[in-house]
Structure 1
Amino acid sequence: MTISERILKVLKDRNMTQVEFAKQVGIATSTISEWKKKKTNPTADKIMDICNVLQITPEQLLTGKGIEDEEEIVAASPESRFTPYDIQLIEDYHGLKEEQKKRLMAYVEALKKIESLENM
C-alpha cells in the first residue's frame, strides 16, 4: 500500500471527506485526485500536517503499521477513547525528563485557564 492509499483508507475509516481533509491540511483537492490516480504522493513538508489532521503518527503513515493491519483506525469511541495520536503523545511524554514533564503540565494547566477565561 502506498502512502496516498493509506491516507485514503484512513479518510474512509474516519468518514472524512476529501474536501474537508484538503482544507484542514492546506492542499488543493486536485492534489488528492492526483494521489488517487497514483501519479504522486504527498510532499515531505506536508507529512506532519497530514498526520496531525488524521491523528496518526508519521510511522503509521510511512510504514502502514496500524493502518494496513487488521486494526482499523477509527475516531475515538466510548469503548476506545484513545487514538494513535493520543498514544504517541503519551509515549513522547514518558520520554521526557522529570523537569520537562513538570513544565509541560504547567503549560497544560495554563491553557485550561486561558480556555475557561475565553469561554466566560
Structure 2
Amino acid sequence: MSIYDRIELLIKTKGLMKKEFCLELGISTGNLGDWKRGKSTPSTNKLIEISAYFDVSLDWLLTGRERTAIQIQESSAVYAANLTMNWEKLAGDLTPKEALFIQEYLEFARYRKHKKEGGN
C-alpha cells in the first residue's frame, strides 16, 4: 500500500470527497492525481498537515506501520534511592544563598498547595 493509498483510505474513512479534502488542506486536485499515479509524493510539510488533519502518525502515513515505544521499567525503590543520592550531592554543592532560595521556594509551594486544598 502506498502513501497515496493510505491517504485515500483516510479520505474514505472520514467520509470526505477527494475535492473536499483538497480544499480543506490546500492541495490541488492535479497534485492529488500526481500522487495517485506515482509522479510525485506529498512534501514533508504536507505530510505533517495530513497526519495532523486525520490524527494519524507520520510513521503510519509513510510506512503503514506504527512505531512501537520502548518502555524502560525501573524499580521505584531504585529511582527513589538515586533521587535521594542526587539531592544530597546537589545540596552539598549549593551556596548558602542557593540553599535558602530553595528552602523558601519549597515553603511557598507547600503554602500554595495548602491554600488550593482549602486550608486557611
TM-score, normalising length: structure 2: 0.49
Higher helix proportion: 2
Please identify the structure whose Cα radius of gyration is greater: 2
TM-score, normalising length: structure 1: 0.49
